[in-house]
Amino acid sequence: MSNKSLRVLIADDESIIRMGLRTILTELGHTVYSAADGVEAVTLAHREQPDIALLDIRMPFRDGLEAAAEILKQRPIPIVILTAYNETALLDRATELPVQGYLIKPVKRDDLISTMRVAIATFNERRNLSEKVDELEEKLTARKLIERAKGILMKGGMGEEEAYHHIQMTARSRRTTMSKVAQEIIDRAMKEG
C-alpha cells in the first residue's frame, strides 16, 4: 500500500479480531473505525465515509454481505470480506455484490496489506472503467441525436455538411452543446409532425 493514510472500517463480532486488525492498521498509519455488527457497520460507514471496509461475513443483526450491499448503495467503496468459513455459497454471494477481496481468519498482516492494496486497485480500475463506459455512452447518445437532427434538417433541404454546421454554429452561439440543439430540432420536428 502507498504511504497514504486510509480511513478503514472494520466490522467483526469478535472483539479480539477487531483489536488485532486495529493494531495492524494503526501501526500502518491508518484511521480505524470499529463495529461489532452489520447494523453498526452501515451506520459507521455512512457517518465516517471510510476509504475501505473489512467486514466479517457472519455477524449479528445483519451479516457482512448484507452490510456490504447497504454500504455500496450509500457510497461505493472497496469491500473485503473476512471469514472463518470457506463456503462456496458465501463466496458466490460475495462475488455478486461485488466485493474486492476475501480473507480467511485469522488474518495475517502481510495478507491483509496485500489484499487491501489489490482491493483498492481493483476498485479504482472498475470505477475508472465504469466512468469511461458512461462517458462513451453519453457521446454515443449525443452522436445519435446529432445524426437524427441532421436528417431532419436534410429533409428540409440542407446538405449533410450544412446541417452539421448549422447545429454546430447554433450550439456555439447559444453556448450550449450540440446534443441540446439537436434535441431541440428533434422536439420541434415532432411537434410539427
- State what percent of residues in the chain have pLDDT above 70: 98
Q: What is the pLDDT of residue 12?
A: 95
Q: pLDDT band for position 18 (50/70/90)? A: very high
Q: pLDDT band for position 83 (50/70/90)? A: confident
Give the model confidence (pLDDT) of 150-174 as tens digits: 999 999 899 999 999 999 999 999 9
What does the CA dihedral 96, 101, 104, 109 come to, rounded to 10 degrees?
-170
- Average pLDDT on 70-91 reads 87
In a domain, 118, yes or no: no
Q: What is the pLDDT of residue 2?
A: 53
Q: What is the pLDDT of residue 48?
A: 97
Residue 49, beta-bridge partner list: none
Residues 11 and 101 in one domain: yes
Q: pLDDT band for position 58 (50/70/90)? A: confident
- Average pLDDT on 98-116 reads 91
Q: What is the pLDDT of residue 177?
A: 93
> Could you tell me the CATH number of the domain that includes residue 163?
1.10.10.10
In a domain, 29, yes or no: yes
Residues 183 and 92 in one domain: no
Residues 45 and 83 in one domain: yes
Is 78 in contact with 34 (CB distance < 8 Å)? Answer: no
pLDDT at residue 1 above 60? no
Q: pLDDT band for position 74 (50/70/90)? A: very high
In a domain, 148, yes or no: yes
Model pTM above 0.85: no
Residues 98 and 21 in one domain: yes
Grid cell in block for residue 8: 478503514
In a domain, 117, yes or no: no
Is 81 in contact with 55 (CB distance < 8 Å)? Answer: yes
Containing domain of residue 79, as a range? Answer: 7-107
pLDDT at residue 3 above 80? no
Is 130 in contact with 162 (CB distance < 8 Å)? Answer: no
Give the model confidence (pLDDT) of 33-43 as tens digits: 999 999 999 99
Q: What is the pLDDT of residue 98?
A: 79
Domain termination residue (choose one: 107, 140, 167)? 107
Q: What is the pLDDT of residue 124?
A: 92
In a domain, 77, yes or no: yes
Split into its structural domains, the chain has a count of 2
